[in-house]
Chains A and B, each alone.
Chain A
Amino acid sequence: MERPSYGRSGWLGQFEARVGETGILLLFLVPSLVVVGFAQLYPLASSAYISFFDWTLSRSPVIGPFVGGANYARTFSDPVFAGSLLYTIAFALISTALQLVFGLAIALLTLGERLTLRLTRTLIMLPMVIAPVAVGTIWRMILSGRVGPLNRALAAIGIDGPDWLGNPNWARISLILIDAWEWTPFAVIILTAALTSLPSDVLRAASVDGAGRWKTLRYIVLPMILPVIMLVAMFRLIDGLLTLDIVFTTTAGGPGYATHTLSFWIYQQGLRYFNMSYAAAASWVLLLACVVVAAVFLVWRRRIMAWQVATRS
């Protein structure tokens, strides 16, 4: 009994038979590749291309003449760019450090499977899941110089609160604190997972050896979760360098240029003043900076993990 048409029933069967298993699987990839290619990769390439020309959209609807690296050179001599760069770096570093410190502290404090602890962890997660723009809005309201609840609360105990968002230096600090508030939960979640996955026999061995809790923490726990800490640090550092949303809704980069982050400044250049080429060049500088940071971290982390494996055996 010959049944060569097995598995080829209907138009779907015929199609699958004609194209073959590998063919169909490749087709599965197409929609994703098309969307990502169209909306991410092509614009990326296009952005690189534009950065070598001179183009201001408001002046001309088509791309201008070729200028090589002029736009890039301009970024190095632009004081606002430099100021934004400096602030962005400080912002990312300090906020990340705060997130790690508070994140670890909260993770340790809420470690455990009791219902109250799990509930606490869930609630602590809230600042992270809401829209960054909303975060900005909320804090703008709280930190508002006169009517804001924070200053009023401070006033009630006799402290004259500063103009959190109006004073350039305080504004810079405020943004960093707001960012730390928003993203500490990220560190909490990941560090909690790392802490709970620690092999319990190592910890027990430590306590048998007579190590107190602080010592255990410092000499055993921290080194073991170092790779995870580095991963969190990398994520948050890079995201910090890219911060845009909260700047928009708290200070709009102000007062003046005080709280301009790089992304925000690029946004203004590109979508406000339509200096497409200049903005493109600057954004590629930022991109390369992020790539460097990521590369450094990943290499460093791999070294640490290799060292861990070596010392463990």
Chain B
Amino acid sequence: MEQRPTLSAIAEKLARGLAVALALFVALAPFVILFLNSLRPSDEFLSDSAGLVPSHLTFEHYAEIFDPSGDTLRYVINSLIITSASTVLAVVFGALAAYALARLKLPFKLSMIIGVLFLVIRFYPKITVALPYFLLMRQFHLLDTHLAVIIAHVSLTVPFVVWLLLAFFEDFPRELEQSAMLDGCGPLRRFVLIVLPLTTPALAAAAVLTAFLSWNEFLMASSVAPNVATTLPVRISGFITDKGIEWGSMSAMSSVVVVPVALFALFTQRYLARGLTVGAVKG
């Protein structure tokens, strides 16, 4: 249809553009405000006259967080330790389990049960588990340790990893594995030497997904690690109970939680989208 763009077509394009711009604004403005506030000097938060942009930028809040002699660096380190360990363990355990599920010829009933199990794990209130888990950790004298949080995070994310990787392993070319079998490889060597090196994109997606979930996780971490092993998300929530909210510190700390994740998300967007839509669209 060769026509000169009609007035309504132009208006429509304009409206469309405006709508998208509005959506972007709503989505991103809060982040901007967060960053600006994290660079705002403390006294400006209480004064009514301060504008949207800080009068001058200050890094004092960040300095406070990363001060080695201070208190808050600990939280960053805890989060790093817990997220790294959880990601590694969840991907390893999950990949092994997914491979086993893909290769074991399970009776249909059993694989249906496992499928239902995953669904259940995705959808029940984690709070149901958090309380007894707290008691369990107390029983094992693991309260307030990194290990307690790591175990919790791994148990939460392994089902996702398995779900994500199962299809990949099932679709893995059988002849390559048959060749490896004839070369004398048992399941472990086949898995490590042949299958894993050739499924790195899927493993990367699983690792990214797990890292996100662990870094942002609040409930389990706050249930079992209120002090020593506390993570950043827990610490952030702790601000509200303090007298006189330190907006600057809170903004800075929130930024530390948010920025790595945001940057990571921008770079790995494809993996994230794939991880989320696996199974959802195929239905």
Are chains A and B touching directly in their complex (CB below 8 angstroms)?
Answer: yes
Which residues from chain A sit less than 8 Å from chain B, CB to CB?
Answer: 6-7, 9, 12-13, 16-17, 21-22, 24-26, 28-29, 31-33, 35-36, 38-40, 42-44, 46-47, 50, 57, 102, 105-106, 109-110, 120, 122-127, 129-134, 136-142, 146-147, 149, 152, 181, 185-186, 189-190, 193-194, 197, 227-228, 231-232, 235, 238, 241-242, 244-245, 248-249, 252, 262-263, 266-267, 270-271, 276, 279-280, 283-284, 286-287, 290-291, 294, 301, 305
In the complex, the answer to whether A134 meets B151 with C-beta atoms within 8 Å is no
**B105 to chain A: closest residue by CB:** A22
In the complex, the answer to whether A130 meets B133 with C-beta atoms within 8 Å is no
Docked complex Cα distance between A43 and B266 (Å) = 36
- Contact of A126 with B28 at beta-carbon distance under 8 Å, contacts A35-B93, A245-B219, A280-B128 already known: yes
Residue contacts A-B, CB under 8 angstroms, 25 given: A7-B185, A28-B100, A28-B187, A31-B92, A38-B155, A40-B155, A42-B136, A44-B132, A47-B131, A106-B23, A123-B266, A131-B257, A131-B258, A131-B261, A141-B250, A146-B48, A190-B280, A194-B281, A228-B281, A244-B219, A248-B237, A267-B130, A271-B222, A287-B124, A287-B125
- Contact of A193 with B281 at beta-carbon distance under 8 Å, contacts A25-B103, A32-B162, A287-B124 already known: yes
In the complex, the answer to whether B233 meets A134 with C-beta atoms within 8 Å is yes
Docked complex Cα distance between A130 and B128 (Å) = 24
> Which of B26, B155, B261, B272 makes the CB contact (< 8 A) with A39?
B155
B29-37, B59-67, B197-205 - the one binding chain A: B29-37
Does B80 count as interface, using CB distance less than 8 angstroms? no
Secondary structure of the B contact surface, majority rule = helix
In the complex, the answer to whether A17 meets B131 with C-beta atoms within 8 Å is no
Docked complex Cα distance between A185 and B34 (Å) = 19
- Residue numbers in B under 8 Å from A120 (CB-CB): 20, 24
> Which of B20, B185, B217 makes the CB contact (< 8 A) with A109?
B20
- Residue numbers in A under 8 Å from B273 (CB-CB): 189, 193
Does B88 count as interface, using CB distance less than 8 angstroms? no
**Nearest CB of chain B from residue A165's CB, rounded to whole Å:** 11
Docked complex Cα distance between A69 and B93 (Å) = 39
**Nearest CB of chain B from residue A146's CB, rounded to whole Å:** 7
- Residue numbers in B under 8 Å from A21 (CB-CB): 186-187
**A9 to chain B: closest residue by CB:** B184
> Which of A43, A147, A181, A301 neighbours the largest number of chain B CB atoms within 10 Å of its CB?
A43
- Residue numbers in A under 8 Å from B27 (CB-CB): 123-124, 126-127, 181, 185
Docked complex Cα distance between A65 and B178 (Å) = 59
- Residue numbers in B under 8 Å from A305 (CB-CB): 283
- Residue numbers in B under 8 Å from A235 (CB-CB): 280
- Residue numbers in A under 8 Å from B233 (CB-CB): 131, 133-134, 245
In the complex, the answer to whether B23 meets A124 with C-beta atoms within 8 Å is yes
- Residue numbers in A under 8 Å from B218 (CB-CB): 131-133, 244-245, 248
- Contact of A29 with B101 at beta-carbon distance under 8 Å, contacts A40-B121, A249-B237, A279-B131 already known: yes
Docked complex Cα distance between A129 and B215 (Å) = 10
In the complex, the answer to whether A25 meets B24 with C-beta atoms within 8 Å is no
In the complex, the answer to whether B100 meets A26 with C-beta atoms within 8 Å is yes
Does B85 count as interface, using CB distance less than 8 angstroms? no
Does B19 count as interface, using CB distance less than 8 angstroms? yes
**B128 to chain A: closest residue by CB:** A283
**Nearest CB of chain B from residue A23's CB, rounded to whole Å:** 9
- Residue numbers in A under 8 Å from B251 (CB-CB): 137, 141
**Nearest CB of chain B from residue A127's CB, rounded to whole Å:** 6
In the complex, the answer to whether B136 meets A43 with C-beta atoms within 8 Å is yes
> Which of A6, A137, A267 makes the CB contact (< 8 A) with B236?
A137
**Nearest CB of chain B from residue A205's CB, rounded to whole Å:** 17
> Which of B28, B127, B217 makes the CB contact (< 8 A) with A123?
B28
- Residue numbers in B under 8 Å from A140 (CB-CB): 240
**Nearest CB of chain A from residue B53's CB, rounded to whole Å:** 11
**B95 to chain A: closest residue by CB:** A28
In the complex, the answer to whether B283 meets A35 with C-beta atoms within 8 Å is no
Does B152 count as interface, using CB distance less than 8 angstroms? yes
**Nearest CB of chain B from residue A187's CB, rounded to whole Å:** 11
**Nearest CB of chain B from residue A109's CB, rounded to whole Å:** 5
In the complex, the answer to whether A24 meets B187 with C-beta atoms within 8 Å is yes
- Residue numbers in A under 8 Å from B89 (CB-CB): 35
In the complex, the answer to whether B212 meets A137 with C-beta atoms within 8 Å is no
Docked complex Cα distance between A114 and B133 (Å) = 48
Docked complex Cα distance between A35 and B89 (Å) = 10
In the complex, the answer to whether A124 meets B100 with C-beta atoms within 8 Å is no
In the complex, the answer to whether B272 meets A129 with C-beta atoms within 8 Å is yes
Docked complex Cα distance between A147 and B47 (Å) = 8
- Residue numbers in A under 8 Å from B93 (CB-CB): 31-32, 35
In the complex, the answer to whether B131 meets A29 with C-beta atoms within 8 Å is no
Docked complex Cα distance between A266 and B162 (Å) = 30
In the complex, the answer to whether B33 meets A137 with C-beta atoms within 8 Å is no
Docked complex Cα distance between A141 and B33 (Å) = 9
Docked complex Cα distance between A106 and B21 (Å) = 11
What string of 1s and 0s marks CB contacts (under 8 Å) between B175-200 and chain A? 00000000011111101000000000
**A45 to chain B: closest residue by CB:** B132
Docked complex Cα distance between A140 and B212 (Å) = 23
- Residue numbers in B under 8 Å from A125 (CB-CB): 265, 269, 272
In the complex, the answer to whether B186 meets A24 with C-beta atoms within 8 Å is yes
Docked complex Cα distance between A194 and B277 (Å) = 9
In the complex, the answer to whether A46 meets B135 with C-beta atoms within 8 Å is yes
